[in-house]
Structure 1
């Protein structure tokens, strides 16, 4: 009986030690992962939440910086722009051709502070307030977003938004 009791106690201690070791290793893995993430935050936007703030950070980047941040090889589009297929965005550069000043987004997964592409223009008005410029004939509304212009295009018959431009200024 003493032998059985000793074996059970030894087995219980062994199992409980294995659990402690696993927890320590998990903590190490999380710590390593957290430090890796913090190193990549400044460089890449791939893992960030898919919201307007993610795209706001791209305004002002150079061609090299945005390619590095997006983590994919872009395709050239009209007027010197670049298309990033994985992110479903296009960017254009200022008159000097050096810094991103305009981002085209037609991805309905992007969260514009609660409004999304595919919803009615009213959703954007509810979130961003009264437009600073609009043309119902051309079916667009411009909203001020932290010093940038949110140019929202919609279908005039359904009032559903089909694309959004985030840009430095509206000309």
Structure 2
């Protein structure tokens, strides 16, 4: 009788361990999935990915952004989830500039809300700078990175990515 009870207890303990392990694996899988989602979202919020939007048509950018756009001034569109606004070239057909003011966007290590010096250390010498108007323009892969900052704090408040400087 003692043997049967011992075997029964051992069997129950073994089964409960298997159940815990399976539950832990499911929880670990969920954790990995959340980490993967965070990594994918972070990868999407890089300056490299926003450069790919320049030149897209209205239909293409709406499709790529995956959210409903709100019309804004001068024929532009706002994508509030992404924290960007876009405007189209003179023909009104292709994206020619993107306005970004989200601190979630990674500019190769610099972010909105940081100092203009952080952008200078990442992008090098500006191709055009106006300290009175508080902006610096950088050449970025053949595009213009127009960085606006607060003149008193030198803190970056917004960035435009443009196909040309007017």
TM-score range, shorter chain: 0.7 to 0.9
Assess if the C-alpha contact under 8 Å between 1:62 and 1:100 holds in 2. Answer: yes
Q: State which drifts further: 109-118 or 47-56.
A: 47-56
**Residues 85, 20 of structure 1: alpha-carbon distance in 2 compared, 3 angstrom cutoff:** closer
User: Counterparts of 1:26 and 1:136 in 2: how far apart (Å)?
Assistant: 53
**Structure-2 residue corresponding to 1:59:** 54
Q: 1:142 to 1:28 in 2, by over 3 A?
A: closer
Which residue is 2:41 aligned to? Answer: 47
- Aligned residue number for residue 4 of structure 1: 5
1:18-29 aligned at under 5 Å gives the runs 18-19=19-20, 21-22=22-23
Aligned counterpart, 1:150: 145
Q: 1:65 to 1:48 in 2, by over 3 A?
A: farther
Offset, 1:123:
1.5
Aligned to 1:124: 119
3-state secondary structure, aligned to 1:47: helix
- SS of 2:41's partner is coil
Report the Cα distance in structure 2 between the residues aligned to 1:48 and 1:109, rounded to whole angstroms.
8
> Aligned residue for 2:93?
98
Deviations 1:54-101 (A, max 9, x none): 322322222122222222211111221101122221101122222212
Cα distance in 2, alignment partners of residues 157 and 22 from structure 1: 55
TM-score, normalised to structure 1, is 0.77
Q: Which runs of 5+ in 1 are unaligned?
A: 38-45
RMSD: 2.9
List gaps (5 residues or longer) in structure 2: none
Is the contact made by 1:141 and 1:151 (CA closer than 8 Å) also made in structure 2?
Answer: yes
Counterparts of 1:25 and 1:153, CA distance in 2: 46
Matches within 5 A, 1:65-84: 65-84=60-79
Q: Distance in 1 between matches of 2:25 and 2:122?
A: 45
Give, in whole Å, the separation in 2 of the partners of 1:120 and 1:18. 52
CA deviation after TM superposition for structure 1 residue 120, in Å: 2.2
In the TM superposition, residue 3 of structure 1 has moved relative to its aligned partner by 1.1
